[in-house]
């Protein structure tokens, strides 16, 4: 469910007409719904009710400080994967003891920043990383709390580019080596082993892969405890998918996911962390664009938009589907026709959809890409010297621009011309 609905023939974000935002900020732009963000966070929080838990928002999905602050005020922690994300979370007012640091390539400088500013834990991905965290912790005179990310070799049944739990993926250490790696971690004086971390992928639409992975984590917890490790926290990652189409083939609900966690891990008396990103932010955002031209081609028609692959890269990168709707609601029974929906970038890959049935549209009409709140603005670029597009947050009948569109002068003036030119 989201809070982007038609009223009197016009698409609204909560209580604000999309056309009103477009008139104020220009197109294209991203718009997020506060009510949807909070509703989705609460679904996860409620799903783990009765357990000691923390829902850490995976901020790589959408990392504007206004979104982070909205969720943090509701009680969310943050899962970060870079020093920049760590500093962004801190700037949004998130305390260090609610920030989890994940990622396979943490540098010594990033580790130093997090240890100096406060961190809930590092999710360690390799033995070399473990050694670096230990060295930095000893240098600073602190002890670093860690979990070790284990790779359970479970097929997440998702897109190959976002699967992370198979043996051939770059993430974590093989679960078969866990005893050896945990023993090594326990021998390092700058580290405190507090738990286990696992994450098998993104946009999962079935519970079975989670159950397979969490069953292995439960067995590993008991084994490591028998070997003398105080395993008291289980970081289960995120990955629960969202419905990108309005079909009946919907992913499992957070309440079903929570029930699975309790069934497979509830007997261990561990604190549970989960790190959803996509399901919190995905359906909480739209990208709104304007039709520049309607072009007739050989056997097909094109809608050429002012939004492009640099603004929303998921279709070009992942062959991802987004429902695309007219901001002005079509009349009941209006005949639809197929269009290729494309952007203005000089690449064939700048295609959002092929032969998508849409109501008749003309130059100047607004359309909205649904489910664009996750991995939209954060993956955008300035390819073709196209400015990053504004981000807007709606709260009831109010809206605010939370990231401005830069001017061309601002973009161009970042360049520095060498003295010999």
Nearest residue to 199 via CA among 150, 129, 255:
150
- For residue 148, the Cα-to-chain-centroid distance in whole angstroms is 22
Q: Using the 8-state DSSP alphabet, how is residue 406 labeled?
A: P
> Would you say residue 219 lies in a domain?
yes
Same domain, 240 and 147: yes
Q: CATH no. for residue 245?
A: 3.20.20.10
> Would you say residue 96 lies in a domain?
no
Same domain, 249 and 288: no
Longest Cα separation, the chain: 70
pLDDT of residue 152: 87
Percent of the chain surpassing pLDDT 70: 95
> Would you say residue 127 lies in a domain?
yes
> Would you say residue 11 lies in a domain?
yes
What is the C-alpha end-to-end distance of the chain, expressed in Å?
A: 56
Same domain, 131 and 253: yes
Question: How far is residue 231's CA from residue 272's CA, in Å, rounded to a whole number?
Answer: 11
Residue owning tokens 């991905």: 125
Same domain, 286 and 259: no
Same domain, 300 and 245: no
Q: Which residues of 193-211 are buried (b: 16+ CB within 10 A; e: fewer)?
A: bbbbbbbbbbbbbebebbe
Model confidence pLDDT, tens digit, residues 274-332: 999 999 999 999 999 999 999 998 889 999 999 999 999 999 998 999 999 999 999 99
Which domain, by its residues, includes 293? 4-31+282-412
CB 288 within 8 A of CB 22: yes
Q: CATH no. for residue 394?
A: 2.40.37.10
Same domain, 303 and 267: no
pLDDT of residue 247: 57
Model confidence pLDDT, tens digit, residues 128-169: 999 999 999 999 999 999 999 999 887 655 444 444 444 455
Nearest residue to 257 via CA among 38, 61, 59, 55:
55
Its pTM surpasses 0.85:
yes
DSSP characters over 257-326: HHHHHHHHHGGG--EEEE---HHHHGGGEEEEEEEEEEEE-SS-EEEEES--TTT--HHHHH-----EEE
Distances (CA, A) of 280 to 139, 176, 188: 38, 33, 37
Same domain, 241 and 321: no
Range of weakest confidence among 5-14, 78-87, 120-129, 244-253: 244-253
Domain boundary among 274, 305, 324: 274
Domain count, the chain: 2
Residue 56 is among the residues annotated as catalytic for this protein: no
What is the number of alpha carbons within 13 Å of residue 169 lying toward its C-beta? 28
> Would you say residue 45 lies in a domain?
no
Same domain, 126 and 257: yes
> Would you say residue 78 lies in a domain?
no
Q: Using the 8-state DSSP alphabet, how is residue 75 labeled?
A: T
Same domain, 110 and 157: yes
Same domain, 236 and 290: no
Residue owning tokens 């007409």: 17
pLDDT of residue 167: 47
Of 1, 226, 331, 346, catalytic = 346
> Would you say residue 54 lies in a domain?
no
> Would you say residue 218 lies in a domain?
yes
Same domain, 318 and 252: no
Residues in CB range of 297: below 8 A, 6 or more apart: 340
- Over 80: is that where the pLDDT of 238 sits? yes
φ, ψ of residue 373 to 5 degrees: the values are: -75, -25
Structure tokens at 233: 């926290």
For the chain, the 3-state helix, strand and coil shares in percent, each to the nearest 5, are 35, 25, 40
Structure tokens at 394: 């709606």
Same domain, 145 and 259: yes
Question: How far is residue 103's CA from residue 111's CA, in Å, rounded to a whole number?
Answer: 11
Nearest residue to 393 via CA among 377, 408, 410:
377
């Amino acid at each position: 469910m989201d809070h982007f609905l038609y009223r009197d023939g016009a698409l609204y974000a909560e209580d604000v007409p999309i056309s009103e935002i477009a008139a104020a900020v220009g197109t294209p732009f991203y718009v997020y719904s506060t009510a949807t963000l909070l509703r989705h966070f609460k679904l996860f929080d409620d799903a783990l009710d009765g357990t000691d838990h923390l829902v850490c928002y995976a901020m790589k999905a959408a990392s504007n400080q206004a979104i982070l602050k909205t969720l943090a005020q509701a009680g969310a922690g943050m899962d970060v994967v870079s020093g920049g994300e760590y500093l962004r979370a801190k700037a949004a007012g998130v305390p260090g003891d609610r920030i989890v640091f994940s990622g396979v390539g943490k540098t010594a400088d990033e580790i130093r920043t997090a240890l100096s500013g406060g961190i809930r834990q590092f999710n360690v991905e390799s033995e070399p990383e473990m050694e670096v965290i230990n060295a930095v912790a000893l240098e600073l005179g602190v002890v670093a709390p860690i979990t070790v990310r284990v790779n359970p070799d479970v097929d997440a049944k998702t897109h190959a580019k976002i699967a992370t739990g198979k043996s051939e993926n770059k993430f974590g250490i093989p679960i078969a080596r866990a005893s050896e790696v945990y023993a090594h971690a326990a021998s390092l004086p700058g580290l405190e082993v507090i738990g286990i971390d696992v994450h098998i992928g993104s946009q999962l639409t079935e519970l079975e892969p989670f159950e397979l992975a969490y069953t292995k984590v439960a067995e590993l917890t008991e084994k490591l405890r028998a070997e003398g490790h105080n395993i008291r926290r289980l970081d289960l990652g995120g990955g629960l998918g969202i419905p990108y189409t309005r079909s009946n083939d919907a992913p499992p609900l957070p309440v079903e996911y929570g029930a699975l966690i309790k069934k497979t891990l509830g007997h261990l008396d561990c604190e549970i962390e989960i790190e959803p990103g996509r399901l919190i932010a995905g359906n909480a955002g739209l990208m709104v664009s304007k039709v520049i031209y309607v072009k007739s081609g050989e056997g097909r028609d094109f809608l050429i938009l002012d939004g492009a692959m640099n603004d929303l890269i998921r279709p070009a990168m992942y062959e991802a589907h987004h429902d695309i709707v007219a901001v002005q609601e079509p009349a009941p029974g209006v005949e639809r026709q197929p269009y290729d929906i494309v952007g203005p970038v000089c690449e064939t890959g700048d295609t959002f959809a092929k032969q998508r049935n849409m109501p008749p549209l003309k130059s100047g009409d607004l359309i909205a890409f649904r489910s664009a709140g996750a991995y939209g603005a954060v993956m955008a670029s300035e390819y073709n010297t196209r400015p990053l597009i504004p981000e807007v947050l709606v709260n009831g009948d109010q809206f605010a621009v939370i990231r401005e569109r830069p001017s061309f002068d601002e973009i161009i003036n970042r360049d520095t011309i060498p003295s010999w030119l």
